[in-house]
Structure 1
Amino acid sequence: MLLFAISYLAGVLTILSPCILPVLPFVFSRAGTSFLRGILPMLAGMALTFALVATLAAVGGSWVVTANEIGRALAVVVLAVLGLSLLSPVVATTVAAPFVALGMRLSPDRETGEVNIGGSLLLGVATGLLWAPCAGPVLGLVLTGAALNGANGQTTLLLAAYATGAATSLALAVLAGGRVLALMKRSLGIGERVRQALGVAVLAGVVAIAFGFDTGALARLSYASTAGIEQSLLQRLGASPPGGQEGRLASEDATAPGYRSILPVEGTLPALDGATTWLNSAPLSASSLRGKVVLVDFWTYSCINCIRTLPYLRAWAEKYREQGLVIIGVHSPEFAFEKKLDNVKAAVDRFGITYPVAVDNDFRIWRAFRNNYWPALYFVDAEGRIRHHQFGEGSYERSEQAIRELLAEAAGGRPAHEEDVTPHASAAEAAPDLAALRSGETYLGYAQATGFTSPQGLGTDQRRDYTIGDLALNTWGLSGTWTTASDHARAEAPDAALAYRFEARDLHLVLGPAPDDGRPVRFRVTLDGDPPGADHGADTDADGYGVISDTRLYQLVRQSGAVRGRRFEIRFLAPGANAYAFTFG
């Protein structure tokens, strides 16, 4: 229930986002009309259409994208007719008959001012089609969850709650606007000019939408203006993570013959038959693992938090294997390149992983666990019951104590008094310097990009020349020729550069060569305009040079002295490099 409340309140906040601007003229075209016949049907149509289109987007598939673009184009035409009919009756009567009828149906009657419920509903449908691609970060979280957990009734209801919240705030705005318009008509007698002004506003909105301004610049402004509010809301009202309560750990002296841990039962180990393939092992099943203590780790190989957890997983696998512990890595990809089996195999070799890895490209195991996190660790007892979990990196001592308790329970003994593992970790696997960390994960594809400041604005699947401009802390920019896709930015010419002003000990960047030819791409990194010297990362030398040979996370900076804010720049010496996301440590 709490998730629905969060979605509804997030929808209410949509009115604060510039992303809603192109929709407002169409909504305010119903200002001053009957609430039941004009405003309510329009908002209901908008909310229902939005929920339907967004649900289809969650299901995925190229046909959905095409259908949405077709519907969007039709909506632009319909609303352009509405704008023309508001602007001039002469123009409206000269338009082809079917469009005239539709446009006039959407407009209030010129003599009586009455509106048609069906026309208002149709206006809402058209507006919902326009609004669907432009909703803010919470919508992105809902759709991401739907993509990972599968489309279901809850997804649609969450989207409907979000749309209802937006409709609520818009209804209040329209009602207030209607009173203002009524006052202007009574006192100044300029009703016709008000109607024409609405027509101009509608047409301006149509032009903005037709040129993609609503899903481009306004969408990016939406992230900047509302993401903080929505994130604060989520943190204040955030629901408990799935998987039950945090497991309590028994003290080491809570022992007796027939020892049983007080770790609560959180669920049952689901079937593991959804993997597309297995590495380092034949396929495993829940039944074949009975009698073993199992640790299931959901990870993906370019995730920095997952990478920093791996040294502990390797150490636990080695230390407790003979006592009956089985660690299973479930590789559930975040980016498309992480679905390629050769990339996953290379990562398993590179990280020295010898325990079984289930390749979960279809997210079937992920959904079976109802998981939502990278990394996520689930601790399963010898009877196949989930007894403890850890979401995110950290809490390694508590996790190891859970392993010892479950092994002791399975053996009928007591947890051993042992030292916790202290694995050696270097390069990107080293723990972060949290005290000095002032920068956070930043995606470079336009679907989730934040902090972009190049004056040209971030293009959407367009080849464009950029200049970097001034950078404040945690902002970034491009120079040279780039094409930005939904999940990455691609350097299209030699000397294309990417700059970021950050404050952290470590800077990582997920990079890869062009997938069509896979040729290595050389690059050079500078800090504040100079070679990094002693501050170079594991994947660069002191002069800042490095090579992109495969698609993975690259450590480009590790500050060797006191951590301070720096201006990072990477310049690609050949075209073809793909850049996905910054992470810091």
Structure 2
Amino acid sequence: MTRTAELPVEGVLPPLDGATTWLNSAPLTPEGLRGRVVAVQFCTFSCINWLRTVPYVTAWAEDYGPGLVVVGAHSPEFPFEHDPENVRPALAAMGIGYPVAVDNDFAIWRAFDNAYWPALYVVDAQGRVRYHHFGEEAYERSERVIRQLLAEAGKDVDPDLVHVEADGVYLAADWPRMGSPETYVGYARATGFASPGGLALDRSRVYPEPARLRLNQWSLSGAWTVGGQAIVLDEPGGRIVHRFRARDVNLVMGGRADGGPVRFRVTLDGEPPRARRGLDVDEDGSGIAREERLHQLIRQDGAIRERTVEITFADAGARAYVFTFG
């Protein structure tokens, strides 16, 4: 096994008793975890940056257990991510069976002095934090740290690193060609809004579309109420339009507040996406939003250039939070 550089001690595993509930496990404690290597990862289930780490972290949990205990700390970004009955099926659908602390009060987040989704902290068998990584990537480096700490604890380690073939929403971003940042549509963090007259805060307004959009601008059409974190469509037929440059376009959104579905249709430069469709739309661009989550709208192959994506909603009640890209 190739040994990583000597790992400094960065602190100790803090208490985990701030969780509001636990999924897949009884509550865990630093004392109960002593003797095993622990990987704590902060997550929130609609975050594309975290989703792209899932195949690697779940592979570590499967391949290196029981010497390694992976612990998810689900610290929610959006209101719908606070409900354990939303979190539970979302994680189960991803095949996540390791313990997850539902950190609705951000108590564990603060105990680690964390500031990022995703964030990974690796703790040795003596309960000392020996490594951290913020964001995506660095999978091989992180795995080698886990292997080194397992070896230090006297655990047998397979000679080979885990093999991961990520696809779908889990596929790594095309970083070299991506030219669009995440774009929040709630007014608390909105950037790039281009409809004439600007955003009307917390009240319904009929928005006109601008004559054109520049790269990384977006607009609304129709009657919408723009809140701090989400926008809600008040009448059928409203649209969201975004000018972007990326392989993938994702939108965190959902159907009506009462759980009812909302039909939508996606176009790319005014045409059905066909082979460029994402996982959540048909070739003609049709889709249905129900539960609030990340929806993959566009996935392109080949040349990447500036394009315009348009989402038209056939039903009122659609809720949207943030565009992300890959």
TMscore range, shorter length: over 0.9
Give, as a single letter, the amino acid of the residue that structure 1 aligns with 2:139.
Y
Q: Is 1:271 matched with 2:21?
A: no
Residues 300 and 412 (structure 1), Cα distance of their counterparts in 2 relative to 1, 3 Å cut: closer
Runs of 4+ in 1 over 4 A off after TM superposition: none
Residues 485 and 412 (structure 1), Cα distance of their counterparts in 2 relative to 1, 3 Å cut: closer
Aligned equivalent of 2:235, options 493, 498, 507: 493
Q: Is 1:474 matched with 2:224?
A: no
Structure 1: distance between partners of 2:89 and 2:197: 38
SS in 2 for 1:411: coil
Structure 2: distance between partners of 1:532 and 1:427: 16
Structure 2: distance between partners of 1:570 and 1:468: 13
Structure 2: distance between partners of 1:340 and 1:325: 28
Q: Is 1:315 matched with 2:59?
A: yes
RMSD value, Cα: 1.4
SS in 1 for 2:53: helix
| Distance apart, 1:378 and its partner CA | 0.3
> Is the 1:252–1:417 Cα contact (8 Å) retained in structure 2?
no
Structure 2: distance between partners of 1:365 and 1:377: 13
Q: Which has the higher contact order (CA 8 A, sep 6+)?
A: 2
| Distance apart, 1:412 and its partner CA | 7.1
Give, as a single letter, the amino acid of the residue that structure 2 aligns with 1:321.
G
Give, as a single letter, the amino acid of the residue that structure 2 aligns with 1:543.
D
| Distance apart, 1:561 and its partner CA | 2.4
> Is the 1:299–1:306 Cα contact (8 Å) retained in structure 2?
yes
> Structure 2: which 5+ residue stretches go unaligned?
none
Residues 494 and 253 (structure 1), Cα distance of their counterparts in 2 relative to 1, 3 Å cut: closer
Identity of aligned residues (%): 56
Structure 2: distance between partners of 1:335 and 1:468: 27
Structure 2: distance between partners of 1:326 and 1:317: 7
Larger % of strand: which? 2
Q: Is 1:522 matched with 2:263?
A: yes
SS in 2 for 1:333: coil
**Paired position in structure 1 for 2:41:** 297
Q: Is 1:392 matched with 2:135?
A: yes
> Structure 1: which 5+ residue stretches go unaligned?
1-250, 255-260
| Distance apart, 1:426 and its partner CA | 1.9
Structure 2: distance between partners of 1:359 and 1:537: 30
SS in 1 for 2:281: coil
Structure 2: distance between partners of 1:279 and 1:349: 10
> Is the 2:3–2:144 Cα contact (8 Å) retained in structure 1?
no
Structure 2: distance between partners of 1:270 and 1:355: 19
Q: Is 1:343 matched with 2:120?
A: no
If you compute each CA radius of gyration, which structure gives the higher value, 1 or 2?
Answer: 1
Q: Is 1:404 matched with 2:147?
A: yes
Q: 1:229-308, aligned counterparts within 5 Å?
A: 252=2, 262-308=6-52
| Distance apart, 1:417 and its partner CA | 6.9
| Distance apart, 1:297 and its partner CA | 0.4
Structure 2: distance between partners of 1:497 and 1:253: 53
- 1:311-347 CA-partner distances (Å, limit 9, x unpaired): 101111111014x000000000011111011110121
Structure 1: distance between partners of 2:165 and 2:261: 30
Q: 1:167-566, aligned counterparts within 5 Å?
A: 252=2, 262-322=6-66, 324-411=67-154, 416=157, 418-469=159-210, 470-515=212-257, 517-566=258-307
Larger % of helix: which? 1
> Is the 1:295–1:377 Cα contact (8 Å) retained in structure 2?
yes
TM-score, normalised via structure 2 length = 0.97
| Distance apart, 1:253 and its partner CA | 5.8
| Distance apart, 1:468 and its partner CA | 1.6
Give, as a single letter, the amino acid of the residue that structure 2 aligns with 1:372.
A
Q: 1:123-134, aligned counterparts within 5 Å?
A: none
| Distance apart, 1:430 and its partner CA | 0.7
TM-score, normalised via structure 1 length = 0.55
Give, as a single letter, the amino acid of the residue that structure 1 aligns with 2:152.
E
Structure 1: distance between partners of 2:167 and 2:85: 24
Structure 2: distance between partners of 1:570 and 1:557: 11
Q: How many residues are aligned here? A: 325
Give, as a single letter, the amino acid of the residue that structure 2 aligns with 1:484.
V
